Amino acid sequence: MLSIRNLRAHLVQVNDLDLDAGDCIAVMGASGSGKSLMLRAVADLDPSEGEVSLDGRERMSMSGPSWRRQVMYVGPESGWWEDRVRAHFEDPDAVVGVLQRLGFKADTLNWPVSRLSTGERQRLAIARAFDRGPRVLLLDEPTGALDQEATALVEGVIHDFLMDDGIVLMATHAKEQARRLGVRTLTMKGGRLSA
């Protein structure tokens, strides 16, 4: 269970939010309302105050990197630091299944990053996160750059992750997305969440 209590970061405040294993919450709201800032604060990517814990373990009781390996943020802009796709994965052979479900062939691992389209980068960034085996995914506009077909593939992978007791907190513009995934929605306005 992911628990958030009195989280205060730059421009955002979350008083009380719990997500059980298999739970997913979609956060809607205008651009600049603080959705990304909230997700970044939960991942401890930006400084924040308050308690955030996973299965009873407070994030401050572990190092930043080990927290983020379990509570993983996938941003709207995916960064790449090596030339080839493969070099961004820790266990490239184990990730082939996820790649296929996201519409890629195993050969994609050998592509140069420079050849990828924006949409391909976004889907591969999600595959890259799965490769690390997180418990919680914090998805920031995960299908923002995707067409209908690719969106369906990503939603399928998210659905399977939830079936496996994963936890997802996502920011999205698309109301239909929340409905398709059949999840609870909250609205972010001025840095505050409401039902």
Partner 1 sequence: MTGQAIPLTALDLVLAALLLIINGGLSVWLNLGITKSLIIAAARMVVQLLLVGLILKYLFAVQSPWLTLGVVLIMIAFAGYEIMSRQDRKLTGLWSYGIGVSTMTFAAISVTVLALSTQLRPDPWWDARYAIPILGMILGNALTGISLGLNTLFNTVTRERWAVEAQIALGHPREVALRPFIRRALKTALMPTINSMAATGVVALPGMMTGQILAGADPVEAVKYQLLVMFLIGGATGIGAVTAIYAAVWRVTDTRHRLRLDRLQEVDQ
**What is the contact surface with partner 1 in residues (CB under 8 A)?**
43-47, 63-69, 72-75, 77-81, 125, 128-129, 132
Q: Which is nearer to partner 1, 81 or 163 (CB)?
A: 81
Residue closest to 178 by CA, chosen among 13, 24, 45: 24
Q: Rounded distance, CA 66 to CA 168, Å?
A: 18
Q: Which is nearer to partner 1, 7 or 178 (CB)?
A: 7
* Pair 43, 68: CB distance under 8 Å: yes
Going along the chain, which residue ranges are E strands?
Answer: 2-9, 12-19, 24-28, 48-54, 57-58, 71-74, 136-140, 167-171, 184-189, 192-194
CB 189, min distance to partner 1, A: 25
Q: Which is nearer to partner 1, 105 or 118 (CB)?
A: 118
Q: Which amino acid is at 171?
A: A
CB 148, min distance to partner 1, A: 26
Q: Is 73 helix (H, G, I), strand (E, B) or coil?
A: strand
Q: Which is nearer to partner 1, 122 or 143 (CB)?
A: 122
CB 175, min distance to partner 1, A: 26
Q: Which is nearer to partner 1, 133 or 175 (CB)?
A: 133
CB 174, min distance to partner 1, A: 22
CB 133, min distance to partner 1, A: 10
Q: Rounded distance, CA 135 to CA 72, Å?
A: 8
